[in-house]
Amino acid sequence: MKICIISDTHNMHKQLVLPDADMIIHCGDFTSMGYEHEIKSFFKWFSKLDQYKDKIIIAGNHEILFEDMSLLAKSFVPINVHYLEDSGIEIDGYYFYGTPVQNPFNDWAFNRPEHKLQEHWLAIPTETDILITHNPPYMIGDYIDYKGEHAGSPSLYFEIVERIKPMLHVFGHIHEGRVTKVIEDTTFINATNVSGHHQITYNPVLVEIENGKVNVISD
């Protein structure tokens, strides 16, 4: 199974050059402020990516409508797109789980303090193979240059490394944090496509999963 991974496209998705794969995953922040017209425009594009058999997406802190008017926002999700919000789906024998929550940032969507974040992480099934979050784990692709601090979640790191141990964890949120890192049997990828200057800078990440192993083809 080949997977194309993108994140933090902020209405600039049409600038991407997408590789062929079996699936595409978007790790959130596909709009600027989660306005209705932005959501509709993105999903019109995303739903027509017929080169991918499956399309998975989660929201990020910019998708405000998905938290403030959840039923309305979800009504815009096309039938051929899997939207995950503290939920999962099994595809081709692999279990995917996605959640949009992240550390407080400008009082936008899905902001949670660390003790509330931990409740969401505890709900992630142990059998998860591919974990999709918007928030990074602590100390992995989470460093904010202008603040001089790490913005990841310590409890997310603990749950992944000590309990869930997915083969792949993909996320975004921190534009300066683009990274691929392997810890034990888990491959961590901050797949943001924009830099700290909010411009499309990075290509999509392409990985292949074969016999339960993750091979990063391009990052």
pLDDT of residue 209: 97
Q: How, if at all, do strands 23-26 and 205-210 pair?
A: unpaired
Sequence-distant contacts of 65-72: CB under 8 A, at least 24 apart: 65/34, 65/35, 65/36, 65/39, 66/34, 66/100, 66/109, 66/110, 67/109, 67/110, 68/109, 72/36
pLDDT surpasses 90 at 83: yes
CATH architecture for the domain at 2-218: 4-Layer Sandwich (3.60)
Q: Please report the pLDDT score of residue 25 as a whole number.
A: 99
89-132 pLDDT, tens digit each: 999 999 999 999 999 888 899 999 999 999 999 999 999 999 99
- Asked whether the whole model's pTM tops 0.95, one would answer yes
* pLDDT number for residue 145: 84
Q: What's the pLDDT at 148?
A: 83
Residues in the chain: 219
Domain ranges (residues) in the chain: 2-218
- pLDDT of 49 strictly over 90: yes
Q: Decide if pLDDT at 147 tops 90.
A: no
How many Cβ atoms sit within 10 Å of the Cβ of residue 149? Answer: 9
Question: Which DSSP state fits 204?
Answer: P
